[in-house]
Amino acid sequence: MKKINDEFTERAVVHSDECGAANDQVATESLVGSNLKYLGVGILFGIIAVKSEIISWYRIQEMFRLHSFHMYGVIGTAVVVGAISVWMIKRFNIKTIQGEKVIFHAKPFHWGNVIGGLMFGLGWGITGACPGPLFAQIGSGLVVVIVTLISAVAGTYAYGVLQRKLPH
Amino acid sequence: MKDFISQPWSWYLSGALIGLTVPALLLLGNKHFGISSSLRHICAACLPGKVPFFQYDWKREVWNLFFVAGIVAGAALAVSFLSDHQPVKVSTNTVQALADLGIVTDGNLAPVSIFNFSNLFTLKGLVFFVIGGFLVGFGTRYAGGCTSGHSIMGLSTLQWPSLLATCCFMAGGFAVVHLVFPWLFKII
């Protein structure tokens, strides 16, 4: 039986530091071959992002003006389905296709959650895109958003440079 | 069937499919859903300089770059082959509110009056592409995640810092739309 405090298992793989989207696979991966399946998941995600219209600047305006339920419905349903999936993986100890135990991490609180969160919220309201939709907007033909993406990379770089000086 | 696919998808179908990205990535190889990390990996892979934050084995995280490359390709496929090319239906309240700001709802993904190359070196371009993008990149990394990493993956694993971050995302968005836009559109 799995104990509750095993839920957030110590990382099997050493990450640099808090890495938002961790890779916990132990089995070695080739640079291209092993990763093509994530290209496939990305393609499906890109299709969903366009078809659900979550990449529309207008939809984000509706959300922040409380004029439409659409975005709240999309995100809310995604959280419920994600949470049920995570619960099932834990409850039935479902393994990865490599046969490894699925690893979850605690996301410890730091003040960046608040300050950075507010900054991202401002950017989200202006650009009408969080990082996923930035890529999807470019793919759907909004080529000028490449400039927004380059600026977002610059913002991430600036954070990396200033990280030690910022309150956390 | 083709009609069903080519019209915009409902929130519950879209939301459920996005939610399934979480177990798909976990079960395909213990990968955690989070898109803003790709921006960090791009920095680590492409930008020089000895910044400790970018000194890690980005090749180990390269799956994330494959994932976002897929998003670009998937979006292109959806627009080319799976779309009925109907204008995005926007709520009449929002159409009115945007009209008050001088923005015409033109049926595109984003208003062409803002999102076009001729605005690139204007004040509009500075705000909507450069500053907006910078805030997205800086803010998500400072917050430790974005809508996918915190709001979907973090909330799915019931983490309160992710709930707090999500509330701050929303607060920032409400602030910019209701407090900043009214005077911003007077000056640009």
Is A89 at the interface with chain B, CB within 8 A? yes
- The number of CA neighbours under 13 Å toward the Cβ of B184 is 18
Q: What is the pLDDT of residue B90?
A: 93
User: Which chain A residues are closer than 8 Å to B77 by Cβ?
Assistant: 43, 46-47
Nearest to B144 among A23, A102, A107 (CB): A107
- What would the pLDDT profile of B43-91 be if each residue is shown by its tens digit? 999 987 789 999 999 999 999 999 999 999 999 999 999 988 888 889 9
* Whether the complex's predicted ipTM surpasses the cut of 0.90: yes
Nearest to B30 among A18, A96, A126 (CB): A96
Distance CA A119, CA B70 (A): 27
Q: What is the pLDDT of residue B185?
A: 93
Low-confidence ranges of chain B (pLDDT < 70): 1-2
Q: What is the pLDDT of residue B85?
A: 84
Nearest to B91 among A13, A68, A161 (CB): A68
Phi, psi of A70 (to 5 degrees): -50, -55
**SS in 3 state form for chain A?**
CCCHHHCCCCCCCCCCCCCCCCECCCCCCCCCHHHHHHHHHHHHHHHHHHHCCCCCHHHHHHHHCCCCCHHHHHHHHHHHHHHHHHHHHHHCCCECCCCCECCCCCCCCCCHHHHHHHHHHHHHHHHCCCHHHHHHHHHCCCCCHHHHHHHHHHHHHHHHHHHHHCCC
**To 5 degrees, how large is the angle CA A127–CA A131–CA A132?**
115
- Token couple for A33: 């071959």
Note whether B18 contacts A74, CB cutoff 8 Å.
Answer: yes
Nearest C-alpha in B relative to A62: B94
Split chain A (168 residues) into runs of 10 and give each run's mean pLDDT: 40 47 88 94 98 96 96 97 98 96 93 97 97 97 96 97 94
Closest approach of A2 to chain B, Cα-based (Å): 17
